[in-house]
Chains A and B, each alone.
Chain A
Amino acid sequence: MLALDQLLDHIKLWSTEFLIVIIKVLVVFVVGLVGTMLMVWFERKVISYMQNRIGPDKAGPKGLLQTLADGIKLFFKEDLIPDRSDRFVFILAPYLAFVPAFLVWSVIPLGGDFSNGKDGTVMILGHATKLQLADPPIGVLLLLALSSIAIYGIMLAGWSSGSKYPLLGSVRASAQMVSYEAALGLALATVILVAGTLSTNGIVVAQSSLSRWHVVATGVVPFVIFLIAATAELNRPPFDLVEAEQELVGGFNTEYSSIRFALFYLAEFMNTITMSGVIVTLFFGGPQPIRFSGVNITLGFLGPFAGTVLFLLKVLVFLYMYVWFRATLPRLRYDQLMNLGWKLMIPLALGWFMLLAAFRVGQDNNWNRALVGVICLVVLGAAAWLLSYATKVSARNRDREGAMF
């Protein structure tokens, strides 16, 4: 009915197919939670080494169980609901932040057999299935939809607290997320243009060798834009104005305590993992083996788990990168953030998308490639000049008339 999985086409209650689907759901859920726990530990440990400290090392081997200990502590804290808060929304908001973070996992291909151009279908107990919870035809649009739903959690959390600082923090956060969503979507559009499909599985299948990985095939720029916009969407450093402690006490979650605070915390780290997974899926071939000019790294000795291991290794690179960002880059000022988003990222993403589209049309109609390139460059140059001129004029007017707000 929903074309989510070929297993679901003619499904009966309690048949083998049914059990496989249930097991897939459980595995994704448990792996998501455990992965988040490990991510918190990983971030604290790596950052402490970068800052020449030891970091958590008391609970469990190498401090591995520190997150568990923190979680238990949070559970047993008093659950405060401020008097001036809007009770219903206050209780609802953490779930609105948490659930979308989880749902993104459902469309990411977590493994499978992609060697030699296969489409990742594996056999489990005699049934063909993909190692991903759902493969809807609108796959990547679901990512955009969920990332726009996640805004509600933060926005309503700040508002319902009934206090000024959380409100300011949440307005900042949602303004930032709404602004960067446009750049995110445009970078995503270039991937869709090259892959020719919206299904996440189809996008992975299209990246069958290193030169076809979308980071190469779309010409790196969309990847950089996506990475920056994704960091801003995640509210992670250097875009963590949401919790600028010096200005806002603690941001949108100031009034939250106990398990509700833990949910926000969990959602934040889970979003980091899912976003890394999304980047790997869109630009680095997901579970595809690494294949270029004769070299073929398939990790074949791992058998059916090769795809999953490759996927996890690629995700780990990005997780490390996010931690690295946090340890290295200072926080942006709010106006710098908005300037970067609106005046640089969105025009650049739009221009690059038009460039790729023009080349695509030229290819279909057998136009001269060089001519198409030159014309595109001239048009883009003119557009860039116009934009910078407009910015200059508006800055001058602003100086003369004084700031509007």
Chain B
Amino acid sequence: MMELFVFVVAAAMVLGGAIGVIVSKHPVHAALSLILTLFGVAVLFVAQQANFLAAVQVIVYAGAIVVLFLFVIMLLGVDRAENLRLEPFKVQRPIAAAVGVGVFGLVVAAVVVSRDARTAVAGTGLEVAAPGGGQLHDGNIKALARDLFSSHVLAFELTSVLLVIAVVGTVMLARKPRKGELQGSES
């Protein structure tokens, strides 16, 4: 009962936020709607007892990434409503429609297929048993860490290398070329 209530509220948050992102004319309002969606997802994580994932969702996505979005929106002055009638890239809309229908079909297919799947019991996915037999208090984090740093350590390290490359690339792009290094660049 309680779980159903939480699910309905969180799902309404997620959907409302998602619709808000698309519908709102103003980029800042769209970013705010995105925060609503991320919070809804975090609540859904908590309802599934994935506490750690919920915290990381809020800290990383709502706390860092959307803040970055807002910084860019505010500082670059793109906070004006754009004219949606203009279409710089003609094939975009038909392709978007096709992809939308395809994704919708995939989701429906996934739901139909998963109807026969064994329903997961809440919280069993990541919990580890304490030595005494009961559930460990914060088993979530330990199980995640063990998985991440043992079987997926290569992927983990590669991801961090990727991030470093992204940072270095940004620095290179933002760097002002020295005088005489590039011909004809006045900026």
Binding site for B on A (CB under 8 A): 1-3, 86, 88-89, 136-138, 141-142, 144-145, 148-149, 151-152, 155-156, 159, 167, 171, 174-175, 178, 181, 197-199, 202, 401-402, 404
Contacts and interface: CB of A to CB of B under 8 A. Distances in A.
7 contacts: A141-B52, A145-B63, A149-B58, A152-B35, A159-B79, A171-B71, A198-B141
B137 interface: yes
Given A198-B138, A202-B137, A148 B67 contact: yes
Given A141-B59, A202-B137, A152 B67 contact: yes
Sorting the interface of chain B by its residue count into under 10, 10 to 19, 20 to 34 or 35 or more gives 20 to 34
B64 A404 contact: no
Per CB-CB distance, the 8 closest pairs between chain A and chain B, nearest first, are: A148-B63, A141-B55, A137-B138, A145-B58, A138-B55, A138-B51, A145-B59, A404-B176
A152 B65 CA distance: 12
Given A136-B51, A174-B67, A401-B178, A148 B58 contact: yes
B37 interface: no
B2 interface: yes
A119 to B, nearest CB: 11
Given A86-B28, A89-B28, A197-B137, A178 B59 contact: no
Given A2-B46, A86-B26, 8 more contacts: A2-B49, A86-B28, A137-B51, A138-B54, A148-B62, A174-B67, A174-B71, A197-B138
A304 B31 CA distance: 48
Interface string B1-37: 0110000000000000000000000101100100100
Contacts of B137: 3, 137, 197, 199, 202
Given A1-B3, A198-B141, A145 B55 contact: yes
A177 B51 CA distance: 25
Interface in B78-128: 79
A181 B175 CA distance: 26
Interface in B130-180: 137-138, 140-141, 174-176, 178
A402 B32 CA distance: 38
B176 A155 contact: no
A168 to B, nearest CB: 10
A401 B176 contact: yes
Contacts of A137: 51-52, 137-138, 140-141
A144 B71 CA distance: 20
Contact of A148 (B52, B59, B138, B174): B59
Contacts of A197: 137-138
Interface string B31-75: 010010000000000110101101110110011100100110011
A89 B58 contact: no
B28 A151 contact: no
B129 to A, nearest CB: 15
Contacts of A149: 58, 62-63
Nearest to A137: B138
A128 B62 CA distance: 36
A95 to B, nearest CB: 13
B35 A138 contact: no
Nearest to B62: A149
A202 B137 CA distance: 10
